[in-house]
Structure 1
């Protein structure tokens, strides 16, 4: 079992209980595979509905992307609403958007209702543009209010320049409902809630295979095998993310592992106000965007560089993202990077999560890459509702099933797409600067 990677979150994580690996055989109602936010959320929702649960995590609780991301909890999905409308229709898109907002409230309410320590939620997120987009943003604001009942605040260029001291930014929309927080501490808090309620959590316990032990009916029992034990259950929920392997079968063939990089700067002290004068989280409008926020009062936690290449060398990561920081804030071109890390997210080709019944008693709650801190919690709730017969809200995800990821051709094809999108960003920004001049 690996320890946590060297990140800001692991260095500032709350005290947490260790969970021993599985030894022998246990019998429960549901086996959840994966101890990230999706697995923890699913387990917690099931336990609240009276189901017994065993959760298997190959490493540590929150070890993967769930515990090392930007920490943004925001409405929406990785796929844009316009594309969801085109694929599913406006009423269907409204339902999916409503679920995404419910996911934000699940996290907020869980932190407040259970006084989870160390989560430090801070409200507000700025979505900034790096080209002239005043009319476009105001139309989007009006569309969201009229169609989805969600209110953004438009911020013009002079006001934005008072908040973010960069010549690259033009306008922004502010989300006054979304927030940012410490994702690893939230995962650890959920794990404690699950354990206190009788859930069985096993760290250092990789699933190596599963099979039906009784196929006589639609509720036949499953056997989930690990190196030193097994779980007998009525239902299995697969919640593996970007680190899932071939043992996940069809699910593994349906998502791509996509890398993102994050760094933590030195303390900036009073210099911080020369660059960032807001406690809101920030993300730009590009296809492969920068995203950042202030932590510890005077440090920047900065992420970006979405790619299929998984770079883990800390010095290279620090150099790359220092260059990005300096591009936005030239006065920070020589800022010292104290920590640098990377992580793998699971992305589906359609950019929506896989929330589905794969076959009788086998469920998927995965592929939340790029927008998981609200969508994984609502995914866990929807799956729990389906298993217990409480609702059929899982139907809203039917248009986004398990699609082939392209196999060995998937990563290079995705990298080619990302390269093209970055070129489009560069062209759009260059044109806006020329017109501004």
Structure 2
């Protein structure tokens, strides 16, 4: 079996050094076995290890191999579907409980960075950019909606104020979130893995799970070993494959692509994004971008449903970048990569339990940096017998994609085309 290695991304090229972690090649026992060393798994493991529980983490590749080490690095509050969508689906009391957690993920990240001195280029501030009047009206609604849940850190911007934040003529206005921010995502994952180990947890890399023997205790099997555990946490998200068919039926992996320029001189970088915040536009198929610590522009956009790897990432993303920043036409692109995130039909995260002792969290639908950190805390609470916040997520209704595995990609792509056309027409 070929060992899974990091893709040739900017993040992998600038990652901090890490220890050589072993592959599981024995039969062992633990209290909690976590499958996946991305943010969901690491957050869960760290919360549990801090409480003195014995935790083993199994990772098919390396720490942060999946979306946690490849994403846009943006700290974005709330969920992929905002709180007004949740309000229409459930009771007010239920929505309020979820709403209190909608702004928690970014704070958990900041707490971890401070407590464990994680060097991940943390910067403050995020901006939602409106391309037309309809989107600007929606941002006005978003500000009021978040205020109803006690969040007061947003600021509406008109076109002139937008140009003070980003040197692009595309935007009519925006919503500046002072509680947003951005990080080097792979270095955050590596720092959290080191924190897990500091607290007594054990991480095995290149130890893909091939079978879970359900029971109490459960037995998690890899190619060369096994882990007998009182509790199992499934945290593989888009990289779980068909290990758990009933989870795969309710979700779909999707690919997102990112490019990174050569380093920009200080004047050019400062002119593009003067206050070093991160930006995402309000399209259904959105673009997102920011500056890295060494003054490169990192730009992502587009979705490939079904997570096929595109033949030419640069040809997909570079035109988007130049539409936003035509002044970068002569700047070289030095990195281009793709990564998968997991989308649900409702675009809301799925959390639940298989039997009595196998927990899962999946389907962040593009808001994984923050939600995964909330999920880890909530799962850890449930494993220790505190179920109120876990139940708030577990009670959300989820359905399989229409058409099953064969037709979920074309049906979803057709829906995305519809919303993309609405964005282009401003309706």
Same fold (TM over 0.5): yes
**Contact in 2 for aligned 1:27/1:233 (Cα 8 Å):** yes
Q: Partner residue of 2:130?
A: 129
Aligned in 2, Cα 1:147/1:393: closer, same or farther, shift over 3 Å?
closer
Residue 46 of structure 2 contacts residue 192 of structure 2 at CA under 8 Å; is this kept in 1? Answer: yes
Q: CA deviation at 1:244?
A: 1.4
The within-5 A match list for 1:292-307 is 292-307=289-304
**2:111 alignment counterpart:** 109
Query: SS of the residue aligned with 1:246?
Result: coil
Partner of 1:101, secondary structure, is: coil
Q: Which moved more, 1:155-164 or 1:254-263?
A: 155-164
- Per the alignment, residue 265 of structure 1 pairs with 261
Q: Which residue of 2 aligns with 1:400?
A: 396
Q: Counterparts in 2 of 1:31-50, with a 5 A limit?
A: 31-50=33-52
Separation in 2 of the partners of 1:410 and 1:424?
Answer: 21
Conservation of the 8 A alpha-carbon contact between 2:350 and 2:394? no
Unaligned runs of 5+ in 2: none
State the Cα distance separating 1:395 from its structure 2 match.
1.0
Query: SS in structure 2 opposite 1:177?
Result: strand
Mapped to 1, the partners of 2:239 and 2:52 lie a distance apart of 30
1:414 aligns with 2:415: no
Q: Secondary structure at the match of 2:110?
A: helix
Match of 1:356 in 2: 352
Deviates more, 1:411-420 or 1:126-135: 126-135
1:239 aligns with 2:235: yes
**Aligned-residue offset at 1:11:** 0.8
1:90–1:307 distance in 2 versus 1, CA, 3 Å: farther
Compute the displacement of 1:402 (Å): 5.2
Q: Secondary structure at the match of 1:45?
A: helix
Alignment correspondent of 2:282: 285
Number of residue pairs matched by the alignment: 421
**Corresponding residue for residue 421 of structure 2:** 423
Alignment TM-score, normalising by the size of structure 2: 0.94
Listed one character per residue, the Cα deviations across residues 370-416 of structure 1 (whole Å, up to 9, x for unaligned) are 00111101111111111111343111113335532332211111111
Map of 2:181 onto structure 1: 179
Q: 2: distance between equivalents of 1:354 and 1:63?
A: 21
SS at structure 2 position matched to 1:174: strand
Name the SS of the counterpart of 2:239 in structure 1. coil
Question: SS at 2:400's partner residue?
Answer: coil
Q: Gaps spanning 5+ residues in structure 1: where?
A: 214-219, 432-437
Q: Deviations over 1:47-90 (max 9, x none)?
A: 12222111111111100111010111121001122211101234
Number of the residue aligned with 2:217:
221
Seen in structure 2, the aligned counterparts of structure 1 residues 142 and 73 have a Cα distance that, compared at 3 Å, is same
Cross-structure match for 2:154: 152
Partner SS, residue 243 of structure 2:
helix
Q: Which moves more between the two structures, 53-62 or 81-90?
A: 81-90
Q: Deviations over 1:309-363 (max 9, x none)?
A: 545457x211221100111122223432110000011111111122112221111
Please provide the CA RMSD for this pair. Answer: 1.8
1:68-87 residue pairs with structure 2 within 5 A?
A: 68-87=70-89
Instruction: Return closer, same or farther for 1:415/1:13 CA change in 2, 3 Å cut-off.
Output: same
Q: Is the 8 A contact 1:251 1:402 kept in 2?
A: no
